A and B are shown apart, each in its own frame.
Chain A
Amino acid sequence: MDIFLQQLINGLVLGSIYALVALGYTMVYGILELINFAHGEVTMIGAMVALSVIGLLLGAMPELPGILVVLAGVLVAIPACMLLGYAIEKIAYRPLRKAPRLAPLITAIGVSIILQNVAMLVWGRQYVSFPRILPEGRHEIWGAHITDLQIFIVVLSLSVMASLWLLVQRTRLGRAMRATAQSKEVAALMGVNVDKVISATFLIGSAIAAIAGVMVSAYYGLAHYYMGFLLGLKAFSAAVLGGIGNIAGAMLGGMLLGMIEALGAGYIGDLTGGFLGSHYQDVFAFFVLILVLVFRPSGLLGERVASRA
């Protein structure tokens, strides 16, 4: 029972990170019907920028409390990623908005390759470690452990999701985004500046990705130029699981995928009699993705049909 609870907690933490990244995919897909392949890389850049800032600050002012240092890192990473996301859309996607669907998908892959390699040139091929400056308290609930960092990640993710939800449901920009997602043409006729809305979508998605990037590197204690790829794929799977284009779906899908992964990795050894071990953890996201697409292509909360895509 305590193993189950422990895996559930781990899954929840992982899932809230997936959910944040999935939001970026789902928002862009909802509006442009484009898989923004480079989104995982934006997350990676966020982690890298934050780690650089943290390293610099620790070198210059070692007496600063750890939380403040990390906060400073996040505050630099957010605008950096926003700028990056804005530039990606402007340079790589906007000129292709009328091109066949395959074209922007391929530029997205191209941008992804570019970002990975730029990151490799700037930060090197090695793993960059996250300094242990955050409080490391551990709490026990019914035999399972949860750390301060884990609690913090879940709470911060939930509050980011709540603010995004409010933004989309309650503000003028949110209404414009929803209108654009339904129909770019009609939204434009109603006086919505579609280009601006799309830019705003990329800005918001990238800001959230920056936060997720810092979280994931703090959680695993390291960052790497290649980390964005698998994270992005899993987050995309999460978005599809929840119903792509649906913001609540991305949140639900992310949480669920995190838990499926954690529980799956915890129990696969027992279930298969030791035939498959926990190193198959990464397979779950893809299996879930394929199963969802085959049996319920619209995802858990989506109303759209996959044949639209």
Chain B
Amino acid sequence: MPKWLRLPPPVAFLLLAITLILLPFLTGATLGNSWVRVLDFVLLYVMLALGLNIVVGYAGLLDLGYVAFYAIGAYLYAWLASPHFGLHLPFWAILPLGALLAGFFGVLLGAPTLRLRGDYLAIVTLGFGEIIRIFMNNLNAPFNLTNGPQGINLIDPVALGPLIFKGNHHLFGFKLTAPYLYYYLFLAFTLATIVIAMRLQNSRIGRAWAALREDEVAAAAMGVNTRNVKLLAFAMGATFGGLAGGLFASFQGFISPESFNLWESILILCMIVLGGMGHIPGVILGAVMLTVLPEALRYLGDWQRAALGHVVVDPNDLRMLIFGLALVLMMIYRPAGLIPSRQRRREFAAEDGVAEQEQADLYDAKV
């Protein structure tokens, strides 16, 4: 950033805060209210991406089953706050439970895979995610736990005291619909996630994760308890996933196994990779881009109608295609991500043999 653009920190902070507070109104006024929902999803995905970033970016453990934890959080919320079991607990009681349960499953997944790494780990975690999804899809018999492919609906919205996140509310003459309210709730959680992620990175545990990622043997030799540190990474990442899952369930009011398929895990992974792995601003940018881009691509249909008179190719079909192309091109031309951390940029820019070796070993430290 050029020097004259650099603001003193308090001013920059204030500007950022005002922007974040006004953002849904600006978006709603310019792009329409449907985009406020997109904003909510952006925040949700920032949370998810930051959570996965702990596992993949900090600790270097490639997890392709992350969406399973998201699903666990969402289903726990649905069970405890919907007519499905007739339970209606408040959200502040369920969210920590969901996070805890997801964290427990994180350890459950982490424990048998301690010895694995690299793409083997990726495949096992992928299998774990699929197993969870298949169970969610089929556990409507012999007793109806998940309601199978139909999913669970009529999930309670978040209620803060008398304020129920549903319908219209009025504040100082502004009309606040549910997406606006959820925006502020998600914003609070997202900011907390960012702070935790930043603090974790510079903590003792964060340094242990970095050591583990760079070289497991050296880390062990330096006294890092690799087993506990790995399990902790899985558990922490899963906790954020579970939290986001609970928020997602209350926001949507409906969940089904379809929302938790492998592509969702891959999407979250791609956010991290596109933005810059292990680097918080990069991860946030990646999450924002990959949530907004598919929505923006919906306009392709309108453009086609305007230019050609009819829709030649359904933009819904094109969205994923463009997404896949973006992944491939990104990896070929900018493999370190859009905003890589300083360390990773150095590693990618390195020309000499030692650094090259380091690159090759980044995700497959040898025993």
B85 in contact (CB, < 8 A) = no
Contact (Cβ within 8 A) A101 B119: yes
A113 in contact (CB, < 8 A) = yes
**Within the complex, which residue of B119, B141, B277, B360 is in contact with A35, where a contact is CB–CB below 8 Å?**
B119
Name the residue on A nearest B319 (C-beta).
A117
Contact (Cβ within 8 A) B331 A107: yes
B residues in contact with A285, CB < 8 Å: 127
Contact (Cβ within 8 A) B122 A107: no
B residues in contact with A99, CB < 8 Å: 331, 335, 359
Contact (Cβ within 8 A) A290 B321: no
Name the residue on A nearest B277 (C-beta).
A102
B44 in contact (CB, < 8 A) = no
Bitwise, B315-327 to A at CB < 8 A (1) or not (0) is 0011011011111
Contact (Cβ within 8 A) B321 A113: yes
Name the residue on B nearest A91 (C-beta).
B328
Bitwise, B196-234 to A at CB < 8 A (1) or not (0) is 000000000000000000000000000000000000000
**Within the complex, which residue of A100, A233, A290 is in contact with B112, where a contact is CB–CB below 8 Å?**
A290
Bound Cα distance A297, B123 (Å): 12
Bound Cα distance A160, B2 (Å): 63
Bound Cα distance A307, B118 (Å): 8
Contact (Cβ within 8 A) A103 B335: yes
Interface residues of B, dominant DSSP: helix
Interface centre among A110, A111, A279, A282 (most CB of B within 10 A): A110
List the one stretch of B34-42, B130-138, B242-250, B298-306 in contact with chain A. Answer: B130-138
**Within the complex, which residue of A114, A275, A277, A307 is in contact with B115, where a contact is CB–CB below 8 Å?**
A307
Contact (Cβ within 8 A) B127 A100: no
With known contacts A99-B359, A275-B142, A279-B138, A109–B266 Cβ distance under 8 A: yes
Contact (Cβ within 8 A) A101 B362: yes
Interface size for B (C-beta < 8 A) is: 51
**Within the complex, which residue of A102, A280, A287 is in contact with B138, where a contact is CB–CB below 8 Å?**
A280
326-367 of chain B: CB within 8 A of chain A: 326-328, 331-332, 335, 356, 359-360, 362-364, 366-367
With known contacts A102-B273, A294-B113, A111–B122 Cβ distance under 8 A: no
Contact (Cβ within 8 A) B367 A100: no
284-309 of chain A: CB within 8 A of chain B: 285-287, 289-290, 293-294, 297, 305-309
B126 in contact (CB, < 8 A) = yes
Contact (Cβ within 8 A) A286 B112: no
**Within the complex, which residue of B118, B142, B273, B317 is in contact with A274, where a contact is CB–CB below 8 Å?**
B142
B residues in contact with A276, CB < 8 Å: 138
B residues in contact with A60, CB < 8 Å: none
Name the residue on B nearest A33 (C-beta).
B119
Bound Cα distance A290, B323 (Å): 30
171-209 of chain B: CB within 8 A of chain A: none
95-138 of chain B: CB within 8 A of chain A: 112-113, 115-120, 122-124, 126-128, 130-131, 134-135, 138
**Within the complex, which residue of A106, A236, A274 is in contact with B327, where a contact is CB–CB below 8 Å?**
A106
A residues in contact with B268, CB < 8 Å: none
With known contacts A99-B359, A104-B331, A279-B138, A113–B323 Cβ distance under 8 A: yes
Shortest distance between the CB of A147 and any CB in chain B (Å): 29
Contact (Cβ within 8 A) A117 B313: no
Bound Cα distance A289, B135 (Å): 17
Contact (Cβ within 8 A) A308 B366: yes
Shortest distance between the CB of B37 and any CB in chain A (Å): 24
**Within the complex, which residue of A112, A237, A240, A308 is in contact with B324, where a contact is CB–CB below 8 Å?**
A112
Contact (Cβ within 8 A) B117 A96: no
With known contacts A280-B138, A297-B115, A306-B116, A240–B123 Cβ distance under 8 A: yes
Contact (Cβ within 8 A) A102 B328: no
Shortest distance between the CB of B277 and any CB in chain A (Å): 8
A residues in contact with B262, CB < 8 Å: 229
Shortest distance between the CB of A87 and any CB in chain B (Å): 12
Contact (Cβ within 8 A) B363 A102: yes
Contact (Cβ within 8 A) A101 B363: yes
With known contacts A102-B273, A111-B324, A306–B119 Cβ distance under 8 A: no
Name the residue on B nearest A244 (C-beta).
B120
Contact (Cβ within 8 A) A277 B138: yes
**Within the complex, which residue of A33, A98, A103, A113 is in contact with B320, where a contact is CB–CB below 8 Å?**
A113
A118 in contact (CB, < 8 A) = yes
Name the residue on A nearest B134 (C-beta).
A283
Bound Cα distance A107, B330 (Å): 9
Bound Cα distance A289, B263 (Å): 20
Name the residue on B nearest A99 (C-beta).
B335
B67 in contact (CB, < 8 A) = no
With known contacts A279-B138, A293-B124, A306-B120, A102–B359 Cβ distance under 8 A: no
210-224 of chain A: CB within 8 A of chain B: none
Residues of B at the A interface (CB closer than 8 Å) are 62, 112-113, 115-120, 122-124, 126-128, 130-131, 134-135, 138, 141-142, 262-263, 266, 269-270, 273, 277, 313, 317-318, 320-321, 323-328, 331-332, 335, 356, 359-360, 362-364, 366-367
A-B contact pairs, 17 of them (CB 8 A): A100-B363, A101-B118, A101-B363, A102-B62, A102-B273, A102-B277, A105-B62, A105-B119, A107-B327, A107-B331, A229-B262, A279-B138, A289-B123, A290-B127, A307-B117, A309-B116, A309-B120
